[in-house]
Chains A and B, each alone.
Chain A
Amino acid sequence: MAREDDRAREEFTSEAEELLDTLSRDLADFESQGANVRPELVNKIFREVHSLKGLAGMLGFTEISELSHSLEDMLDRLRMGRVAISKDLVDLLYDSVDSLNRLVIAINDPSLSGLVDMTGLTRRIHQIVTNQPQQKHGDAFSELTLDEQTRKSLTEYEEHRLLENVRAGKHILSLEVTFDFSDFDERLRTITANLSEAGEVISTLPAIPTGNINGIAFRLLYGSTLDVDAVAVLAPEANVSSLRKTAPATPTPAPVTPAPEVEEEMSLRSLSQTVRVDIAKLDHVMNIVGELIIEKTQLEALTRAIAMQQARMASHELGKISRNLDRKLNELQKSVIEIRMVPVGQIYSKLSRTVRKVARELNKEIELILRGEDTELDKMMVEELTDPLMHIIRNALDHGIEPADERKAAGKNPVGRVTLTAYQQGNSVVLDVTDDGRGINPEKIRRVAVERGLIGEKDTVDLARAYELMFTPGFSTAAAVSEISGRGVGLDVVKKNIQDLKGSIDVITHLGEGTTFRVSLPITLAIIQALIVEAGGDKFAIPLTSVEESLRIYSRDIRTVERREVFTLRDFTLPLLRLADAFGLEDHHDHGPDTKWFVVVTRAGEKTIGILVNALVRQQEVVIKSIGERLKTIPGIAGATEIGESEIVLVVDVGSLIDHFGGRAREVRAAVLS
């Protein structure tokens, strides 16, 4: 039984986490809908808490079960209209979900238990529940012609919603539809989605169809401002009739256009097709794919070797096998990568909870806008991303957004706004954290940097230099390291975390208008496309996500500006880096002005550098393997990979190469000028 208990606990934790995530998202919607919150949403939140309570109760997680029980009771009153929506209630809901999250985490890590103030929460819930006047339930049924069977099948909640619709003077309609057993759910969902645009589907009662033994009938109770005729247009397949004995007195507005059906259906389908997969299993599959790719690479190498020895037929055959293998591998790799992808929206709920908490601690009013929650990213990356993002957002709240009176004086909305936008750009996912605060003042950065002894008294600081300083260890703009953005770490740690994910971070600021922190990440880490190059007699792999283009030049095209080799790429002066020099290799390649070179134009974040190599070998997939602790400190190396014939090459880390040897930004310059 012990193992079964473990399994049950595991399943519970995973489902509870999912429930709480959904709950947080719904709470954010709930808050944004304000006093006009849709009853369906309140009911959904109630149901989620109800499920959590049921689960926790069965498995004996007393604290979770008790807290969710009190919450459920409060939410039940809320959906029944016996408790009003207030700021206290919203705050309490957020705090409760936060506490429930902690309790769920504490199941697997008992050292974390005792962090939740159960008594305080229970007291607050009790206050809200008892402060409300009890509403009496009038009998609005007398105004309807409703048969006994239908009335009996309503839950208490549905009955309440029906009466609310009657009281609000809505048309109360009955829609009868008959469908085939095979697709009734999809068709019913489409109808319900359409109807919900213009009213509330109160109940969906299955019924026995007359004359169609293979079908199933439904009777929908619908409250709407639309009358019978308008609804008949909206749902042409339904038999619509009014249940009111007398028509409501309110005027009926014209029918609204329902949302496009296709979209509704798609979003519903994606809901039911979610699979929960253990990430360890996926890692395993990913490793197999990685090893298969190494095998394939060796096969390719063998093919090349045979080709050189004129064994044409064999070479041809091997080539065919290799291509087939390649196709299959691509398929496998693509599908595995897809399984690993999760929407970044998964961490949005955690972020919005933190923002609320931090805003309250700082006594600032903040509006958080979350965009692009469907943007997908590797599951592991999403996990690793939470802390750095949290830190950037905290930073924006603490240092970016001004206090309300300062904002008012500047003619801004006293409520500060932080926007998190996620979107895909080629093979990268970009996350922008934008605030509408005071912007970064280079002079202020300069003063702090001088104070911290990072630069000399007389050093000048322009915007580009200010960005660099902000990410330098030992820098913090707060007079004292505040609890909020402090936490013992600075932006330098954020930058390191993001670089560990092979990503980059950039800052774009406009003084007085706000700042954007832009985090770009590769969509996945495990397998990448790389450009194999040769420099100083050795081969290297450059990740294709960092490569913008490559071109052939001659030694005479290389100029020297301020002791730095550069190349004029169209209208841009591109700083160059000889890859052989970067790794201290001897290079005997240069034989005068006519020597051929290749420039690989690479980019990390906003910065660009041209990597000078002797030859481009080919493009291929590589599996990055770690090279161990000892070599980790060498800048410019992301890992190693095998590219066939047991040949091991280093994978270049463009981000740290640029950091170490300096690149040049195109966009930042524009930002400084504007």
Chain B
Amino acid sequence: MKILVVEDSSSMRAYLTTIIESGSESYELEIIEAASGFEALKTLPHHKFDAILTDINMPDINGLELVSFLKNHPVYRNIPIMVISTESTEEDRRRAAALGAEEYLVKPFQAGDLVEKLRRLLRVA
């Protein structure tokens, strides 16, 4: 399984990666990190991702714009996406769903919730 984590905060990225790794005993895992929407776009042609986790509030292009692009792209539209953002952007959460993001996780979250939602996203037991 190959996962793309898009998040501009380096310590948050490290935290997300740690949780995802600790919850992945049952499957092979490779995590690619991107620190911005642009970086995410740049990595796309070089990997075949099984899931993408993205923050909303980021410099250059934001998470919603990334979701919109992916969900309309002939090659990438089937990659399941989880948007991870804070409760203060409730409206943006609704928009993410409208654009086709499969999962939404609100920060701060419990490690277990992330692991659980990711399993659902990847369809692994």
The answer to whether A155 touches B62 (Cβ under 8 A) is yes
The answer to whether A185 touches B42 (Cβ under 8 A) is yes
The answer to whether A54 touches B12 (Cβ under 8 A) is yes
Of all chain A residues, the one with the shortest Cβ separation from B73 is: A208
Question: Smallest Cβ distance from A269 to chain B, in angstroms?
Answer: 13
**Separation of A214 and B75 alpha carbons in the complex (Å):** 12
The answer to whether B107 touches A206 (Cβ under 8 A) is no
Which of A68-76, A256-264, A504-512, A622-630 lies at the binding interface? A68-76
Chain B residues whose C-beta falls within 8 Å of the C-beta of A513 in the assembled complex = none
B26 within 8 A of A: no
B61 within 8 A of A: yes
B50 within 8 A of A: no
The answer to whether B11 touches A11 (Cβ under 8 A) is yes
The answer to whether B18 touches A4 (Cβ under 8 A) is yes
> Out of A12, A155, A205, which one reaches B92, CB within 8 Å?
A155
A568 within 8 A of B: no
The answer to whether A155 touches B56 (Cβ under 8 A) is yes
Chain A residues whose C-beta falls within 8 Å of the C-beta of B61 in the assembled complex = 204-206
The answer to whether B15 touches A149 (Cβ under 8 A) is no
The answer to whether A156 touches B69 (Cβ under 8 A) is no
The answer to whether A156 touches B86 (Cβ under 8 A) is no
B24 within 8 A of A: no
The count of residues in chain A whose C-beta lies closer than 8 Å to any C-beta of chain B is: 41
Which of B45, B62, B73, B98 has the most C-beta atoms of chain A within 10 angstroms of its own C-beta?
B62
**Separation of A158 and B107 alpha carbons in the complex (Å):** 22
B1 within 8 A of A: no
The answer to whether A207 touches B69 (Cβ under 8 A) is yes
CB contacts under 8 Å to A, within B60-118, are 60-62, 64-69, 72-74, 86, 88-89, 91-92, 95, 98-99, 107-109
A570 within 8 A of B: no
The answer to whether B41 touches A153 (Cβ under 8 A) is no
The answer to whether B57 touches A58 (Cβ under 8 A) is no
Chain A residues whose C-beta falls within 8 Å of the C-beta of B69 in the assembled complex = 205-208
The answer to whether B88 touches A73 (Cβ under 8 A) is yes
The answer to whether B41 touches A208 (Cβ under 8 A) is no
Question: Smallest Cβ distance from A272 to chain B, in angstroms?
Answer: 8
Known: A55-B11, A57-B86. A205 touches B68 (CB 8 A): yes
Chain A residues whose C-beta falls within 8 Å of the C-beta of B39 in the assembled complex = 185
Known: A57-B107, A205-B68. A69 touches B8 (CB 8 A): no
Chain B residues whose C-beta falls within 8 Å of the C-beta of A47 in the assembled complex = 57, 59
The answer to whether B41 touches A216 (Cβ under 8 A) is yes
The answer to whether B86 touches A54 (Cβ under 8 A) is yes
The count of residues in chain B whose C-beta lies closer than 8 Å to any C-beta of chain A is: 41
> Out of A14, A153, A203, A204, which one reaches B99, CB within 8 Å?
A153
Question: Smallest Cβ distance from B17 to chain A, in angstroms?
Answer: 11
The answer to whether A58 touches B15 (Cβ under 8 A) is yes
Known: A47-B57, A149-B68. A206 touches B41 (CB 8 A): yes
A184 within 8 A of B: yes
The answer to whether A8 touches B88 (Cβ under 8 A) is no
Of all chain B residues, the one with the shortest Cβ separation from A14 is: B11
The answer to whether B12 touches A50 (Cβ under 8 A) is no
**Separation of A72 and B87 alpha carbons in the complex (Å):** 12
**Separation of A386 and B1 alpha carbons in the complex (Å):** 49
Of all chain A residues, the one with the shortest Cβ separation from B35 is: A272
CB contacts under 8 Å to B, within A56-100, are 57-60, 65, 69, 72-73, 76
**Separation of A265 and B125 alpha carbons in the complex (Å):** 47
CB contacts under 8 Å to A, within B1-21, are 8-12, 14-15, 18
> Out of B15, B57, B89, B95, which one reaches A51, CB within 8 Å?
B57
The answer to whether A58 touches B68 (Cβ under 8 A) is no
**Separation of A286 and B65 alpha carbons in the complex (Å):** 46
Chain A residues whose C-beta falls within 8 Å of the C-beta of B66 in the assembled complex = 206
The answer to whether B72 touches A149 (Cβ under 8 A) is yes
Known: A152-B95, A155-B62. 9 other contacts (CB 8 A): A8-B18, A73-B88, A76-B88, A152-B68, A156-B89, A181-B41, A203-B65, A207-B72, A216-B41
A-B residue pairs in contact (CB < 8 Å), sample of 7: A47-B57, A50-B57, A57-B107, A153-B95, A181-B41, A206-B61, A206-B66
The 8 closest A-B pairs by CB, nearest first: A57-B108, A206-B69, A153-B68, A11-B11, A185-B38, A15-B11, A156-B91, A58-B108
